[in-house]
Amino acid sequence: MSAIPSLGNLRTRAHGRAFHNGRRAPQETRTSACVVDCGVYVDGVRLPGEWSHTDAIAEVRKRGEGFVWIGLHEPDEKQIQGIADTFGLHELAVEDAVHAHQRPKLERYDDTLFMVFRTIRYVEHDSPTTANEIVESGELMAFLGSDFIITVRHGNHAGLTHLRRELDADPERLAPGPAAVLHAIADHVVDHFLVVTERIEDDIDEMETEVFAPRTRITSEQIYLFKREVLELRRAVLPLARPLRRLSEGYTWLIPDEIRSYFRNVHDHVTTVSDRVAAFDELLTTLVDATLGKLTLQLNSDMRKITAWAAIIAVPTAIAGIYGMNFDYMPELSFKYGYPITLGVILALCLLLYRIFRKNRWL
């Protein structure tokens, strides 16, 4: 995939880009700072050369066929404004694309679709019982028109470089137009969901084994942390089902009939992921209940042990307290064997209580 050259390496090209006195126009210069790639595709084949967004769409409309695919990474309002003006993007959709923090959704503005995906990356860790973060989320937006698709990515993961190279090597997949790119992006995002859920499932199995192990060190706070991470995944998956279903049911003419069935397949995969996430949430709730139950049983066991030892200690304490009183006239004070007998009685009573508590499994 051809990268956008730096400003120091720009040269005047034969196909006539917008330059002022040998330099790129100011608006185009600001836009190029956030452009990851810009390609022109005709019959699914990428045309050679490097393109600005204005030259790319002009080439497509001059030919009367093909489409433009522009990839942006975290643009600000000034950087995206030139592209928005050139392609006629709605200001509300542009605002959402710049500021991000959107739920997965699908909106239609005149002849343009705006779709939002939330991307998820699994964070490697040594153990799910000690990890502070399980998943990392980002956002991916797409503007779809009849002859263009513009993708806007927020976050440092889920880049589309590999996907673009894969599609560039398979012109048949791109032949139907920009809707094929939108499907490929949706399929790419959902495939990552499947991978992440498989890894999380392994973590939950490990956590479940740890919870039911004797004298486990896992706490309910750690499981609640895991539930919070699963909730982050749920926010990315569940709202995406409705937009995919609408695309598969003929929501807009921008999605050709041959592409709709593929969106239906992606929707089925999202449903599978949604079922997994719901099962994860229920299982984690069960693990929380089991952990709290174990803690309660352990607390009861500890309290019984403490009570038993307190009862045993009370015997010598009571006897020593009685004979520690300073009275001149007390029975057995002058008895020769009073001291050893008293110690023997104390020991016998303590041993009796110990056997009783052991028999009742208090100790």
Together in a domain, 129 and 275: yes
Q: What is the pLDDT of residue 190?
A: 94
Same domain, 32 and 168: yes
Is the domain of 272 the same as that of 346? no
The residue written with tokens 């239906």 in the block is 264
Is 203 part of a structural domain of the chain? Answer: no
Give the single-character DSSP code of 110. T
140 and 180 together in one domain: yes
| pLDDT score, position 312 | 83
- Does position 28 have pLDDT exceeding 80, yes or no? no
Helices (H), the chain: 26-32, 53-63, 77-87, 91-99, 161-168, 171-174, 178-211, 220-237, 241-248, 257-323, 338-359
Q: Which of 18-22, 138-142, 279-283, 319-323 has the lowest mean pLDDT?
A: 18-22
What does the pLDDT average to over 11-35?
A: 48
Rg (CA), the chain: 35
List the single range of 28-37, 114-123, 168-177, 201-210 with lowest mean pLDDT.
28-37
Q: In CATH, what number is assigned to the domain containing residue 299?
A: 1.20.58.340
Where in the sequence is the domain holding 82, given as residue range(s)?
7-198+217-294
Examine the fold and report which residue of 269, 294, 319 is the final residue of a domain before the chain moves on.
294
User: Does 327 have pLDDT greater than 70?
Assistant: no
The residues, ordered by sequence, that sit 6+ positions from 14 with a Cβ below 8 Å of its Cβ are none
pLDDT for 159 equals: 83
Q: Residue 212: which pLDDT band, with cuts at 50, 70 and 90?
A: confident
Q: Can you give 78-94 as a three-state secondary structure string?
A: HHHHHHHHHHCCCHHHH
Q: Which residues contact 263 (CB under 8 A, 6 or more apart)?
A: 183, 186, 244, 247, 248, 255
pLDDT at site 17: 39
CATH code of residue 259: 3.30.460.20
| Range of weakest confidence among 166-180, 210-224, 265-279, 303-317 | 210-224
- Looking at the structure, tell me whether residues 274 and 138 fall in a common domain: yes
Q: Do 135 and 273 belong together in one domain? A: yes
The mean per-residue pLDDT over the stretch 27-47 comes to 80
pLDDT digits (tens, 9 = 90+) for 169-180: 999 999 999 999
Shared domain check, 179 and 303:
no
User: Is 208 inside a domain boundary?
Assistant: no
Mean pLDDT of 211-217: 74
The mean per-residue pLDDT over the stretch 98-103 comes to 87
Residues 241 and 331 in one domain: no
Residue 299 forms part of a structural domain: yes
Q: How far apart are CA 162 and CA 13, in angstroms?
A: 28
Average pLDDT over residues 236-251: 91
Segment 194-221 shows an average pLDDT of: 83
Q: Are residues 15 and 143 in the same domain?
A: yes
- Which residue, 266, 294, 322, sits at the end of a domain? 294
Quick one: CA dihedral 261, 250, 62, 73, positive or negative? negative
Sign of CA dihedral 183, 188, 190, 194: positive
Does 193 fall in a domain?
yes
Query: What is the mean predicted confidence (pLDDT) over 233-256?
Result: 90
Give the residue-averaged pLDDT of 97-119: 91
Residues 142, 108 contacting (CB under 8 angstroms): no
- Per-chain mean pLDDT for the chain: 83
pLDDT score for 258:
87
* Cα–Cα distance measured from residue 118 to residue 74, given in angstroms and rounded to the nearest whole number: 14
Residues 238 and 134 in one domain: yes
**pLDDT per residue as tens digits for the range 337-347:** 777 777 888 88
The number of domains in the chain is 2
Residues 182 and 312 in one domain: no
